[in-house]
Amino acid sequence: MTRPFSSLSQLQSQLKDRSISATELTQLYLDRIEQLNPILNCYITVDEEHALERARAADQQLARGSGGPLTGLPISQKDIFCIKDTTTTAGSKMLANFRPPYSATCSTKLEQAGAITLGKTNMDEFAMGSSNETSFFGPVKNPWDLLRIPGGSSGGSAAAVAAGLCAASTGTDTGGSIRQPAAMCGLTGLKPTYGRISRWGMIAFASSLDQAGPMTRTAQDAALLLEHMAGYDPRDATSLDEPIPKYSQELSQPLSGLKIGVCRQFFSEGLDNAVETVIREAFKIFEQLGATLVDIELPNTPLSVSAYYVIAPAECSANLSRYDGVRFGHRCSDPKDLQDLYQRSRGEGFGNEVKKRILVGTFALSAGYYDAFYRRAQQVRRLIKNDFVEAFDHVDLIIGPTAPTPAFKIGEKVDNPVDMYLQDIFTISANLAGLPAMSIPAGQVEGLPVGLQLIGNYLQEGTLLRAGHQFQQATDWHQLTPDIEL
């Protein structure tokens, strides 16, 4: 019964040698979803019919020896990616009945490469959160401990992959939402360079920070998915027109000569001691693999959470103004007048975290406060970016912990927003600077996975994936699976 926990590359060869068919594989995951989703709540929508139809088509292609690089591989997609005619909610009541007339570029690209979408995964409302507790569709359980959160906002994707309810998934990361849930569920999660993957058709939270990426069992799988998610898209003005390297063919290039920066600011107060021990142990593996560790400073990174909680709400207040109950989104019943329509539609459609951020963002952008908050936060953002530019003159990668603690209990931090926001203290700076960053499983603390973060220079996803892959050749943390069975 290793199949639900097999990597994409293992499944790829099993499909190719016909030891399993795409239909059997798809059915296997659909059965697990039926049995385990009521416990985990990681899927919002499952499209069984569509998945099986695509699986049958995949089998025909495989039999002919044709098909794309991902043909027959069943994946899930975060419910923030629009998929034509498929309910796409972004975890919100506001979009509970939204069926987009188009698909997100990166979802289309994955399907064109042959991947089969099983369904859409649960997430924090509009990707705002670190625990999946802000979803209108209820919290997701961490498969490693059902009393704990899976991380957020891509917690549904993380739980689905970790529990073997799909072979891989997609996520989005605005401040850590791919990396932190990957860390909490024992997965590999990659946030690429800003602009590497098109944002077209991805429901916007904070447009200057949002970036899609793969959530997988291995770095090798992340390389495979990234090759098919990345690329220039004329429909996204911030999309990068850069060649896409063959990431999966460069994974074995030796790490000797690689300089890895260890940043003092990532070992700050608030970092759990046991997590720190795991991370420092992992450093030794990189040394054994031939890399050299160098101490570095990123002096402005401690300001990243404060800057983020001005910039992200400011952008979200603008992006979410479109949900007015008129053009699309939830509409209240029997409005008295236009004002009442707006107020009640938005009041009923959005949850508390989203409302709080719209209020904060509107305030930060208002005349008289713009300079004191928004402009200031942008200036801090530049300083954070400059720190990285300076650091990458001396090193190829920067490593440290992904999150300060392992997965916490459901409900534990809901009344303590600052503590919740500090979950992303090590991840946010990469979003502010637009840099690629990845989390890989590096150990466990009391049976819960711990993630190690690697941050790379612009467009150096290949270096991240290579380092991650070789770490995974030398360790087996990524092969551990939670004890959740039918």
**Which positions are catalytic?**
78, 153, 177
**Span of 2-10, 19-27, 126-134, 326-334 interacting with ligand GLN by CB under 6 A:** 126-134
Pick the binder of ligand GLN from 143, 176, 349, 482 (CB under 6 A): 176
Shortest Cβ 266–ligand GLN spacing (Å):
17
Pick the binder of ligand GLN from 175, 261, 351, 462 (CB under 6 A): 175
Shortest Cβ 385–ligand GLN spacing (Å):
18
Pick the binder of ligand GLN from 128, 310, 399, 455 (CB under 6 A): 128
Pick the binder of ligand GLN from 174, 188, 402, 453 (CB under 6 A): 174
What are the structure tokens assigned to 450, written together? 């711990």
- Asked if 345 contacts 355 with a C-beta cutoff of 8 angstroms, the reply is no
| Cβ nearer to ligand GLN, comparing 126 with 266 | 126
| Cβ nearer to ligand GLN, comparing 221 with 424 | 424
CA angle 357, 363, 365 (to 5 degrees): 100
Q: Strands of 448-456's sheet, edge to edge? A: 43-46, 116-121, 74-78, 169-173, 211-216, 188-191, 437-445, 448-456, 397-401, 259-263, 292-296
- Asked if 352 contacts 369 with a C-beta cutoff of 8 angstroms, the reply is no
**Span of 127-135, 235-243, 322-330, 339-347 interacting with ligand GLN by CB under 6 A:** 127-135
d(CA 208, CA 377): 13
Of the candidates 345, 33, 55, 344, which has an alpha carbon nearest to the alpha carbon of residue 161? 33
What sections of 169-325 are H helices per DSSP? 179-185, 219-229, 273-288, 304-319
Binding mask of the shown chain, residues 205 to 224, with x at each position contacting ligand GLN by CB under 6 A: x-------------------
| Cβ nearer to ligand GLN, comparing 46 with 312 | 312
**Span of 125-133, 159-167, 216-224, 399-407 interacting with ligand GLN by CB under 6 A:** 125-133
What is the Rg, in whole angstroms, of the alpha carbon atoms belonging to the chain? 21
| Cβ nearer to ligand GLN, comparing 12 with 122 | 122
| Cβ nearer to ligand GLN, comparing 191 with 469 | 191
- Asked if 410 contacts 434 with a C-beta cutoff of 8 angstroms, the reply is no
d(CA 292, CA 286): 8
Local structure of 69: helix, strand or coil = coil
Q: What separation in angstroms does the CA of 368 have from each of 355, 372, 381? A: 22, 8, 21
Shortest Cβ 174–ligand GLN spacing (Å):
3
Which residues have C-beta within 8 Å of that of residue 239, sequence separation ≥ 6?
Answer: 195, 198, 199, 200, 231, 232, 233
DSSP state, residue 188: E
d(CA 441, CA 216): 11
| Cβ nearer to ligand GLN, comparing 90 with 113 | 90
Query: Could you say which residues in the range 303-332 bind ligand GLN, by CB under 6 A?
Result: 312
Which residues have C-beta within 8 Å of that of residue 246, sequence separation ≥ 6?
Answer: 227
d(CA 470, CA 403): 22
Binding mask of the shown chain, residues 150 to 169, with x at each position contacting ligand GLN by CB under 6 A: ---x----------------
**Span of 102-110, 170-178, 280-288, 451-459 interacting with ligand GLN by CB under 6 A:** 170-178
**Span of 26-34, 121-129, 253-261, 441-449 interacting with ligand GLN by CB under 6 A:** 121-129
Shortest Cβ 434–ligand GLN spacing (Å):
14
Binding mask of the shown chain, residues 53 to 82, with x at each position contacting ligand GLN by CB under 6 A: ------------------------------
Of the candidates 442, 429, 317, which has an alpha carbon nearest to the alpha carbon of residue 373? 317
Pick the binder of ligand GLN from 41, 177, 301, 472 (CB under 6 A): 177
Shortest Cβ 480–ligand GLN spacing (Å):
25
**Span of 84-92, 122-130, 319-327, 447-455 interacting with ligand GLN by CB under 6 A:** 122-130
Asked if 127 interacts with ligand GLN (CB under 6 A), we say: yes
Q: How many CB atoms lie within 10 A of CB 61?
A: 15
> With CB under 6 A, what is the number of residues at the site for ligand GLN?
13
Query: Could you say which residues in the range 381-440 bind ligand GLN, by CB under 6 A?
Result: 424
Which residue ranges make up the site for ligand GLN (CB under 6 A)? 127-130, 153, 173-177, 205, 312, 424
